[in-house]
Amino acid sequence: MLSTVAVLVIPPLSPFEFGTVCEVFGIDRSDDGVPPFELRVCGEVAGRPVPTIVGADVVPSRGLDGLQGADLVVVSATRQREYSDAVLDAVRAAAAAGSTLLSICSGAFVLGAAGLLDDRPCTTHWDNADELGERYPRAKIDPDVLFVDDGNLITSAGTAAGIDACLHLVRRELGSAAVNVIARRMVVPPQRDGGQRQYIEMPVPVCRSDGLAPVLDWVLENLDVEHSVSDLARRARMSDRSFARRFVAETGTTPHKWLTLQRVLRAQRLLEDTDMGIDEVAQRSGFGSAALLRHHFRKIVGVAPADFRRTFAARAALAGS
């Protein structure tokens, strides 16, 4: 049953992520057939203003006691990384009492500090995933997804992914009819395709060696032709084995993986900035066929090339205007 929702606000609070919880659970839509929720806004001290990252304050009507008995406890995003014993004890107590816990974006750090991510699959904003892993190495972090549902623990990626996680929970607990009503009112899809991998700025493995750099620069200028390890080794004036070993040592990846990533990045730019057809994008990026492009693109980016274009091609339109 999902009827009582407590959202924990910790300064400095991110207002958008907090607002997504209020939008999903704080508005009475019983006239449209959605069961009403009791939304409790809880801070460490009731009535004490909680500063946000944009200069406004949120004043919680409840203290940490508001977490007690809630069906769902949502930990909203905050830039703070150290938390009081009272906050962590309240979160642990809610989990022990049977509440479902849901974190939005950096709210996962609170759950990690409470020890609730240990040996559990979870996620957070892709830009914070490494930090979360360093602080809480027992957490099983997946930086590619929009949210992770692990039963009584749900964690979401950054910002708008909190909407996805909240709507998913409504669907899980109350069914598709309820979530469709809420999604239509919010003017969002009830379920998004793909994960946050499509939004990640993928770092390009670089070469620190003057000996290999000219070869890789040449490859980047000629991605649309075939490149074997033997061809690249000859151009670098090395044996195949020496070249492969040196390549991994310098870039941290294999020649094949490096080349595939470069081609996917080229395809991304072409999909964003041009109106080329998928076949031509495949040729220009060196995949040769649309089928091969789709295979590698989905594997690395997480969505099909056509879906990626629909999401990100607006960049080209804006540039043109």
Collect all residues with Cβ–Cβ distance below 8 Å to 226 and sequence separation of at least 6: 286
Total domains, the chain: 2
Residue 18 and residue 107 share a domain: yes
Residue 126 and residue 220 share a domain: no
Residue 117 and residue 233 share a domain: no
Q: Is 20 within the bounds of a domain?
A: yes
Angle subtended at Cα 67 by Cα 139 and Cα 146, rounded to the nearest 5 degrees: 40
Residue 223 and residue 126 share a domain: no
pLDDT in tens, 57-76: 999 999 999 999 999 999 99
Q: Is 208 within the bounds of a domain?
A: no
Residue 231 and residue 289 share a domain: yes
pLDDT in tens, 161-191: 999 999 999 988 998 889 889 998 998 877 7
Handedness of CA 250, 253, 256, 259 (dihedral sign): negative
Residue 124 contacts residue 134 (beta carbons within 8 Å): no
Residue 252 and residue 194 share a domain: no
- Separation of alpha carbons 116 and 307, rounded Å: 35
Secondary structure element (H or E) that encloses residue 8, with its range: strand 4-8
Residue 272 and residue 172 share a domain: no
pLDDT of residue 42: 98
SS3 assignment, position 265? helix
Q: Is 203 within the bounds of a domain?
A: no
Domain end, chosen from 198, 229, 255, is at 198
Residue 308 and residue 230 share a domain: yes
pLDDT of residue 199: 60
Residue 244 and residue 184 share a domain: no
Residue 175 and residue 51 share a domain: yes
Question: Model's pTM, two decimal places?
Answer: 0.69
SS3 assignment, position 317? helix
Domain end, chosen from 142, 170, 198, is at 198
For 3, phi then psi, to 5°, come to -135, -30
pLDDT of residue 201: 59
- The first and second tokens of residue 4, run together, are 């009582």
Q: Is 41 within the bounds of a domain?
A: yes
pLDDT of residue 103: 98
Q: Is 205 within the bounds of a domain?
A: no
pLDDT band at 77 (very low <50, low <70, confident <90, very high): very high
pLDDT in tens, 96-148: 999 999 999 999 999 999 999 999 999 999 999 999 999 999 999 998 888 99
| Mean predicted confidence (pLDDT) in 263-287 | 91
pLDDT of residue 202: 53
pLDDT of residue 144: 83
* Residue 74: CATH number of its domain: 3.40.50.880
Residue 8 contacts residue 91 (beta carbons within 8 Å): yes
* Residue 225: CATH number of its domain: 1.10.10.60
> What range does the domain containing 166 cover?
4-198
Residue 316 has pLDDT above 70, yes or no: no
The residue type of 255 is P
pLDDT band at 197 (very low <50, low <70, confident <90, very high): low
Domain end, chosen from 198, 227, 256, is at 198
Residue 267 contacts residue 259 (beta carbons within 8 Å): no
Strands 72-75 and 147-149: unpaired
pLDDT of residue 230: 92
Residue 203 has pLDDT above 60, yes or no: no
For 8, phi then psi, to 5°, come to -95, 125
Residue 151 and residue 15 share a domain: yes
| Mean predicted confidence (pLDDT) in 255-267 | 89
Angle subtended at Cα 166 by Cα 160 and Cα 170, rounded to the nearest 5 degrees: 145
Secondary structure element (H or E) that encloses residue 112, with its range: helix 108-113
Could you tell me what percent of the chain has a pLDDT over 70?
Answer: 91
